[in-house]
Amino acid sequence: DVKVTQSSRYLVKRTGEKVFLECVQDMDHENMFWYRQDPGLGLRLIYFSYDVKMKEKGDIPEGYSVSREKKERFSLILESASTNQTSMYLCASTRPGAAHEQYFGPGTRLTVT
Amino acid sequence: DQQVKQNSPSLSVQEGRISILNCDYTNSMFDYFLWYKKYPAEGPTFLISISSIKDKNEDGRFTVFLNKSAKHLSLHIVPSQPGDSAVYFCAAIYPGGSEKLVFGKGTKLTVNP
């Protein structure tokens, strides 16, 4: 059974803190993605990675960075958290050429106070 | 500019009746479409897809219809069940061999017993 796990289900951070969200997949997928989901805005792509140490900006990369040192792990970093980054963050993975088979993790609900 | 639009934020139907969720898109280069289902506090799960070379795809109670000339697709659920209550996202694969998906804002379906 395929699995994408995210390090935390709920997280509360203060404004200005550096925040790390971790995602791990066990399917040996090359492609990994970070989205945020907000009410009325749907899922928006922040960053994605198509290989180790490779990354590409999505639609809303401002205020975020990513790290992919190992194939199975994709980290999203909020360099200096702000209240407008309060959101549900979703990680996904897929194999190359299979964008229609994205598997999602359970999500991390981040609150920045 | 939103390329995938779900204009109905919510839909309520009675158990046993048909649910019809609609999605419009603006980019005629999209050639593959998907529907994802999301329960609260869980990641989205893939439901059904359709290629632009087809106009219909069926999987059990779920059928997706594609009208390319109108740039419109719809998801039909027959018969609707209370367990179908969730947020449904329409998505399209970016053209040109991209691995990225672009999502609509979602429609919250409530099936009343």
Of the residues A56, A74, A101, A102, the best mutation for testing chain B's interface (the one with the most B CB atoms within 10 Å of its CB) is A102
- pLDDT confidence of residue B1: 67
Q: Above 80 in pLDDT, residue B96? A: no
Q: Above 80 in pLDDT, residue B95? A: no
Residues of chain A with pLDDT under 50: none
Contact B34, B44 (CB under 8 A): no
Higher pLDDT, B29 or B79: B79
- pLDDT confidence of residue A2: 65
Q: Give the list of residues 6+ apart from residue A39 with CB closer than 8 angstroms, or none.
A: none
Over residues B23-27, mean pLDDT: 95
Size of interface A-B (CB pairs under 8 A): 60
Distance of CA A108 to the CA centre of its chain: 9
Whole-angstrom distance, CA of residue A35 vs CA of residue B31: 22
Judge: B99–A96 Cβ closer than 8 Å, yes or no: yes
Judge: A100–B89 Cβ closer than 8 Å, yes or no: no
Over residues B64-75, mean pLDDT: 97
- pLDDT confidence of residue B2: 78
Mean residue pLDDT across chain B: 93
Q: What's chain B's Rg over C-alpha atoms? A: 13
- pLDDT confidence of residue A70: 95
Over residues B56-60, mean pLDDT: 97
CA distance B107 to chain A (A): 9
- pLDDT confidence of residue A52: 92
Whole-angstrom distance, CA of residue A35 vs CA of residue B71: 25
β pairing state of B10-14 and B107-112: parallel
Q: Give the list of residues 6+ apart from residue A41 with CB closer than 8 angstroms, or none.
A: B105
